[in-house]
């Protein structure tokens, strides 16, 4: 019988570029390709270590002079919505959910462009065309879903929010979401997260992975409102509370060298 040696993922580092979250800082990412029959397992194992997926790439911040970006996940099984979150649910009582295979549509893209024009006109996605959008949604080597949200109006059913979601062994990873900025009073961004907590509970999953929480960034501050929230720091998940935030240290000396970071990554075994 012919045998071949298992091939471990190769890790690379991006060139430094301006940080999109904290002014005056520079970001750098550690990343690896996500492909092959083992893609779901690799996505699962690295997501549990603070990585995020973008199409067929898994990445994690690895900045030389900053350690502010922290992977965050909601503990869905013990989550309790605040009073304001309960009001948001009531305001969106007419919103319905439809989860399908990851397939891009013109209706989604129109909403995506509207969202970017209102919220992120100077961001890295601002120039994406319909083909690039389709690639973002459809080029997934793992178990993913497109979750669409519709509002029932007098004019009929209207698409108001969309989320590209990965299904992990222990939770849902919200890869990217967007919503209609004309519905600002409905807090659709918060509603989509709350609904993903509901989906996770219905599926018997423990967590909703939100991506990165960045202390000091107004763009990311909302994530800390979903409690209990865990952050990946120091090689492990730990609950974020007021005491943890006070002790938060983002000094560059907290960062291990790239070689040590890669050496500490746990990889799935292959047979």
In sequence order, the 6+-apart residues with CB closer than 8 A to the CB of 30 are: 11, 12, 13, 59, 60, 61, 62, 258, 261, 262
pTM: 0.90
How many CA atoms lie less than 13 Å away from 78 in the CB half-sphere?
7
Class of domain 73-247: alpha beta
Structure tokens at 109: 């893209």
**Helical residues (DSSP H) of 1-105, grouped into ranges:** 39-47, 83-91
Burial class, 234, CB count within 10 angstroms (exposed 0-12 / middle 13-18 / buried 19+): exposed
Residue-level pLDDT, tens digit, the chain, 271 residues: 333 334 578 999 999 999 888 888 889 999 999 988 899 999 999 999 999 999 999 999 998 888 888 999 999 999 999 999 999 999 999 999 999 999 999 999 999 999 998 876 566 676 889 999 999 999 999 999 999 999 988 778 999 999 999 999 999 999 999 999 999 999 999 999 999 999 999 999 999 999 999 887 787 888 989 999 999 988 899 998 755 554 555 555 667 788 888 888 989 875 5
Q: Where in the chain is the domain with CATH 3.40.630.30?
A: 73-247
ω into 228 cis (within 30 of 0): yes
């Amino acid at each position: 019988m012919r045998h071949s040696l298992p091939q471990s993922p190769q890790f690379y580092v991006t060139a430094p570029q301006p940080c999109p979250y904290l002014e005056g800082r520079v970001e750098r990412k550690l990343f690896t390709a996500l492909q092959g029959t083992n893609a779901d397992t690799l996505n699962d194992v690295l997501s549990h270590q603070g990585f995020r997926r973008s199409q067929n790439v898994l990445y994690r911040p690895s900045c030389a002079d900053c350690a502010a970006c922290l992977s965050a996940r909601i503990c869905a099984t013990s989550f309790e919505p605040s009073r304001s979150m309960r009001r948001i649910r009531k305001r969106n009582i007419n919103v319905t959910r439809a989860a399908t295979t990851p397939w891009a549509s013109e209706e989604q893209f129109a909403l995506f462009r509207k969202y970017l024009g209102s919220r992120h006109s100077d961001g890295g996605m601002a120039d994406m065309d319909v083909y690039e959008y389709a690639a973002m949604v459809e080029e997934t080597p793992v178990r993913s879903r497109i979750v669409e949200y519709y509002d029932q109006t007098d004019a009929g059913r209207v698409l108001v929010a969309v989320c590209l979601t990965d299904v992990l062994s222990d939770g849902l990873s919200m890869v990217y979401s967007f919503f209609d900025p004309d519905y600002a009073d409905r807090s659709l961004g918060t509603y989509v997260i709350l609904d993903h907590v509901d989906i996770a509970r219905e599926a018997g999953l423990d967590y909703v992975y939100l991506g990165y929480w960045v202390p000091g960034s107004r763009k990311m501050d909302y994530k800390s409102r979903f409690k209990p929230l865990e952050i990946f720091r120091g090689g492990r998940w730990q609950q974020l509370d007021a005491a943890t935030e006070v002790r938060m240290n983002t000094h560059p000396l907290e960062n291990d060298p790239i070689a040590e970071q890669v050496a500490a990554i746990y990889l799935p075994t292959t047979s």
